[in-house]
Structure 1
Amino acid sequence: MKYLLILLLTFNLPLMAQTDTHQAFFDKLAGLCGQTFTGQSSFPDDPKDSFYGKPLVAHIAECGPAQIRVPFQVGTDTSRTWVFNLKEDGLQLQHDHRHQDGTPHEVNLYGGMATAPGTALEQSFAADTHTIGQIPEAATNVWTLTLSEDGQSLIYYLERHGKPRFKATLYRQP
Structure 2
Amino acid sequence: MHRLSQLCGQAFEGRIVSEDKEDDSWRAERVVMHVRECSDDEIRIPLHVGDDHSRTWVIHHEGGRLTLHHDHRHEDGSLDAITWYGGARDDRLSGSRMNFPADDATKALFDAEGIPQSKENTWAIEVRPTHTLFAYEMERPNRFFRVEFDTSKPVATPPAPWGAE
**Would you say the 8 A contact 1:97–1:107 is kept in 2?**
yes
Identity %: 33
Cα distance in 2 for residues equivalent to 1:70 and 1:151 = 20
Larger radius of gyration: 1
Q: Which has the higher helix share?
A: 1
Cα distance in 1 for residues equivalent to 2:92 and 2:64 = 13
Q: Which residue of 1 aligns with 2:81?
A: 106
Whose RCO is larger (CA < 8 A, sep 6+)?
A: 2
CA apart distance, 1:45: 4.7
TM-score by length of structure 1 reads 0.78
CA apart distance, 1:47: 7.1
Give the counterpart of 2:93 among 118, 138, 145: 118
Written as runs of structure 1 = structure 2, the 5 A alignment for 1:64-103 is: 64-103=39-78
Q: Which residue of 2 aligns with 1:168?
A: 147
> Which amino acid is 1:33 matched to?
C
Closer/same/farther in 2, CA of residues 67 and 46 from structure 1, 3 Å limit: same
> Which amino acid is 1:146 matched to?
E
* 1:55 partnered with 2:46: no
Question: Which digits, 9 at most, give the CA deviation of each residue in 1:24-65, with x for residues without a partner?
Answer: xx1111121112121221223537743132211110010011
Cα RMSD for the two superposed structures: 1.8
> Which amino acid is 1:114 matched to?
R
- What are structure 2's unaligned runs of at least 5 residues? 111-115, 155-165
**Would you say the 8 A contact 1:114–1:126 is kept in 2?**
yes
1:137 is paired with a residue whose SS is helix
Closer/same/farther in 2, CA of residues 164 and 137 from structure 1, 3 Å limit: closer
Q: Which residue of 2 aligns with 1:152?
A: 132
Q: Which residue of 1 aligns with 2:109?
A: 134
> Which amino acid is 1:167 matched to?
R
**Would you say the 8 A contact 2:20–2:144 is kept in 1?**
no
Count of equivalent residues: 148
